[in-house]
Structure 1
Amino acid sequence: MSKPVRFEPGTDWSYSNTNYVLARLLIEKVTGSALAEEMRG
Structure 2
Amino acid sequence: PLFEIENQIWNEWTAEEQLQYLTLTKKYCDALKKHMHTDFQ
TM-score range, shorter chain: 0.3 to 0.5
Instruction: State which structure, 1 or 2, has the greater radius of gyration over its C-alpha atoms.
Output: 1
> Which structure is higher in helix share?
2
TM-score, structure 2 as length reference: 0.43
